[in-house]
Amino acid sequence: MTEKTTRVAIVTGGSGGIGRAVAERLAKDGVAVVVHYSGNETRAQDTVKAIEAAGGQATAFGGDVADPDAMAALFRHATDTFGGVDVIAHTAGIMPLAPIAEMDLETFDRIQRTNVRGTFIISQLAARQVRAGGAIINFSTSMTRLQAPAYGPYAASKGAVEAMTLVLARELRGRDITVNTVAPGPTATPLFFEGKSEQVVEHIASLNPMERLGTPEDIAEVTAFVAGPGRWINGQVLYTNGGAA
């Protein structure tokens, strides 16, 4: 049993990309972090080692976000290891892309299972267990506003995430728990680069008024703010995209 710390966070999808940056940024603020992973334990352990090397506390725990038993075990692990749960940063999600006319239903269902059902399960557990003074942060996408072709099924799943998050903020009245959604724009992660040529990436970056892609650290900074000092931000969707939408 590790000695109880001031605050404890669960970061889903914490093995890489935005999730890893969020885990490391929260740890920088002195938060003990449970780094959740779905399939890549090695990368999750790398995140843990990086946090520990910087003087923080972290542990890794795996499981399917759409499996309620696995996620209940994740929350138990956080409580058993660090004493409770104060922050949820639910970054885990999948992003298969195809035009609506072409996407098969199996892929569509897989997107909704991970992104919608997974968010529901994490949000339900968080609503029951996050301590007063805590923060629940789900992740959407600026594509709900940019409305780019091929993003329809993915954006639809994230629209559902936003709706659930905004309702949950109202349902937790009186609990001193904030509930928000961070909605990144195009961000330089392996998930974003997959299947895109260098020319496409450069074009997307050029569309932003800041003339670059976002970085995982950009998103992590906003997440850490609403997880910590940003207590008056509640029931909001934070479009974190450098002005892209």
DSSP alpha helix (H) spans, 29-151: 41-53, 68-82, 105-112, 118-129, 143-146
Nearest of 232, 137, 133 to residue 174 by alpha carbon: 133
Quick check: 111 and 94 in contact, CB under 8 A? yes
pLDDT digits (tens, 9 = 90+) for 51-106: 999 999 999 999 999 999 999 999 999 999 999 999 999 999 999 999 999 999 99
Residue that has been written with the tokens 């992590």 in this structure: 220
> Which CATH topology does 8-186+216-239 take?
Rossmann fold (3.40.50)
Active-site residue, 154 included: yes
Compute the Cα dihedral for 197, 200, 206, 210 and give only its sign: negative
Among residues 37, 151, 154, 239, the one annotated as catalytic is: 154
Average pLDDT over residues 120-137: 98
Whether the CB-CB separation of 26 and 224 falls below 8 Å is answered with yes
Supply the pTM of this predicted model.
0.95
Which residue matches tokens 């404890």?
8
pLDDT of residue 2: 47
95 closest CA partner among 151, 159, 171: 151
| pLDDT tens digits, one per residue of 55-66 | 999 999 999 999
Structural domain spans, the chain: 8-186+216-239
Closest CA to 205 of 243, 231, 233: 243
Question: What percent of the chain shows pLDDT beyond 90?
Answer: 89
Average pLDDT score over the chain: 95
**pLDDT digit string, tens, across residues 11-58:** 999 998 999 999 999 999 999 999 999 989 999 999 999 999 999 999
What is the mean predicted confidence (pLDDT) over 223-244? Answer: 97
Bridge partners (DSSP) of residue 29 are none
| Digit-coded pLDDT (tens) for 187-210 | 999 878 887 889 999 999 999 999
